[in-house]
Structure 1
Amino acid sequence: MTEERIRAVERDGLAFDVIDAGPVDGEPVVLLHGWPERATSWRHVTPILNAAGYRTLAMDRRGFAPRARPRRRRDYRLSLLVDDVVALIDEAGGSAHVVGHDWGAAVAWAVAGLHPDKVRTLTAVSVGHPAAFFKAMVKSDQLRKSWYMAALALPVLPELTIRRWSDWFDLQLLKGGMSREDVARFRREIVDDGALPTSFGCYRGMLLTDPRIVRFRVSAPTTMVWSTGDVALGRWGAAHSAEWVDGPFRLVVLDGVSHWVPTEVPDVLAGAILERVAG
């Protein structure tokens, strides 16, 4: 494991900024954010993990990091998002505990499934195993909840809407449970910083990802955290993720908590992460 702080990871001409905190010799915990957030979404979780002796590595993902914002849809295929994380894990010593929220969870599942030797444990927040998520589209009301994914994959229209009808979009985030502080952070870190167009890359690259790639099994001990107040993701996909995990699996259900788990209940989430990584 490297004895120096990791400030950024470079891969294929792109640079991904990293917030490296906690004891340098602690077991590494890689933290992957979702949309529309950046690595700072873990700011309340990391001090708790650091105090427990773990080193946290929160990375600005592809499309969000200032020096990693390619414009083409094909640059956001799932395999590339996975390789970005593997590059960070290799920099941190070759294996790590991996935690992801929202799109970060989708990528974390894929890292664990496609590179089992890199992942010591997995904690997925909000988004279940990709195969379970897609099956939930026909087995539950997930298709109705996921209408926004198709909307955000459209060219140009999403960024125009968010800029021209900013008050309306901010209100949607507030209705979904995001705090006013984090809505302001979204405006500052995503919109004002120029990341908005490329932040949609994960949605626009979905159609270019071979669906067979998501039918992987996960051997790492896994915790799935899902919250009952999540307006975008139903319980079916979270609960049935166990069918794709060969290692120990635990479903943690947070009653009355919104989609924005890392910032709304960081202490509870940190507790679930620590229980998994320590186990």
Structure 2
Amino acid sequence: MDTARVPAMTDQSSIEQLTVTTEAGAFDAIASGPAEGRPVLLLHGFPEAALEWEHQVATLGGHGYRAVAPDQRGYSPSVRPENVADYGVDVLVGDVLAVADALGWRRFDLVGHDWGAAVGWWAAAEHPDRLRSFTAVSTPHPSALARAIRSDEDQAMRSAYLTEWRQSSTEQRMLANNAEALRRMFEWKVPLSRVEDYVLRLSEPGALSAALNWYRAGRPRAEAGKVAVPTLYIWSTEDVAFGSTAAFDTENWVSGPYAFHMLEDVTHWIPEEVPEALSALLLEHLAAR
């Protein structure tokens, strides 16, 4: 695809700051585009925030979509419960629907990166009536990932951090020496100013614990099922967390229209490392639905 054909509509002045009020609390969010535009909800990952979608939100808004990216549970200060059980997959999927309901969206396009994509896979599998389409960035289908961890030594090694991050000492280790470990995660592929923003947010009292509680909440009660909604999966070859076994197996977990796009020589941080390319892929996918 010729990404040069996509206009560079990334004027930050088009970004709005929103508060989306639900029964769980008030989610901070960024948004762009006309109120009557086709709705697109974008879910961030760890250890980031809605800001990771700034380029995509502005681009989608500039093309007439109504794009909203919330700071998810634990990242929005007003939705930061202390109980680990309050970060289970069912609760996180419930937040997606609650935010959409608060925005008045009966059906919407869903986009997710990292943990946001994992939640998106579950939402797409369990609530296909609510989604017009789904785009997963980096993270494969949860069942494909689980199978790869069991059968593929490479993926098992890549996923070893999951056990480590559930330990109670993780917060101290990540924030030690001016959050050196947290900063290294971004592999120098995310703009420094953005990294500083993420570190500042996660240095707030209780913020990093809340983000890590997504990992500590335990496994879902059941295996994620097949996804019937039109799905685009974008994976990058230099992703340290997700190898090719789970990436290539993901198509077996989508029963509806499916497209797979592989980005060569790109790391895990796709939305910020190659923002123009990702925005172009999103526009192409949405235009076809």
Q: Specify every segment of 5 or more residues in structure 2 that has no aligned partner in the other structure, as ranges.
A: 1-15
Where 1:128 maps in the other structure, the secondary structure is coil
Q: Which has the higher mean CA deviation after the structures are superposed, 60-69 or 188-197?
A: 188-197
Where 2:261 maps in the other structure, the secondary structure is strand
Does residue 107 of structure 2 align to residue 87 of structure 1?
A: no
Where 1:258 maps in the other structure, the secondary structure is coil
Task: Give the match for residue 39 of structure 1.
Answer: 50
Q: What amino acid sits opposite 1:39 in the alignment? A: A
1:6 Cα deviation (Å)?
8.8
Taking structure 1 as reference, are residues 228 and 134 closer, same or farther at Cα in structure 2, changes over 3 Å only?
A: same
Q: Specify every segment of 5 or more residues in structure 1 that has no aligned partner in the other structure, as ranges.
A: none
Give the percent of matched residue pairs that are identical in Structure 1 and Structure 2: 37
Q: What amino acid sits opposite 1:163 in the alignment? A: L
Where 1:231 maps in the other structure, the secondary structure is coil
Aligned residue among 261, 264, 267 for 2:273: 264
Where 2:196 maps in the other structure, the secondary structure is helix
CA distance in 1, matches of 2:132, 2:175: 41
Q: What amino acid sits opposite 2:261 in the alignment? A: V
Where 2:77 maps in the other structure, the secondary structure is coil
Task: Give the match for residue 5 of structure 2.
Answer: none
CA distance in 2, matches of 1:238, 1:100: 15
2:22–2:102 CA contact under 8 A, matched in 1: no
CA distance in 1, matches of 2:97, 2:196: 31
Task: Give the match for residue 225 of structure 2.
Answer: 216
Does residue 157 of structure 2 align to residue 144 of structure 1?
A: yes
2:32–2:62 CA contact under 8 A, matched in 1: no
Does residue 261 of structure 2 align to residue 252 of structure 1?
A: yes
Aligned residue among 138, 142, 146 for 1:130: 142
What is the CA RMSD across the aligned residues, in angstroms?
1.8
Q: What amino acid sits opposite 1:121 in the alignment? A: S
TM-score w.r.t. the length of structure 1 is 0.91
1:41 Cα deviation (Å)?
0.7
CA distance in 2, matches of 1:96, 1:66: 25
TM-score w.r.t. the length of structure 2 is 0.88
Deviation readout 1:127-147 (Å, 9 max, x if unpaired): 011101101112321110111
Taking structure 1 as reference, are residues 13 and 138 closer, same or farther at Cα in structure 2, changes over 3 Å only?
A: closer
1:31–1:57 CA contact under 8 A, matched in 2: yes
Where 2:264 maps in the other structure, the secondary structure is strand
1:71 Cα deviation (Å)?
0.9
Q: What amino acid sits opposite 1:252 in the alignment? A: H
Does residue 247 of structure 2 align to residue 238 of structure 1?
A: yes
Q: How many residues align?
A: 271
Does residue 79 of structure 2 align to residue 68 of structure 1?
A: yes
Q: What amino acid sits opposite 1:60 in the alignment? A: D
Deviation readout 1:217-239 (Å, 9 max, x if unpaired): 21110000001111111122122
Aligned residue among 94, 98, 101 for 2:110: 98
Q: What amino acid sits opposite 2:21 in the alignment? A: E
Q: What amino acid sits opposite 1:218 in the alignment? A: V
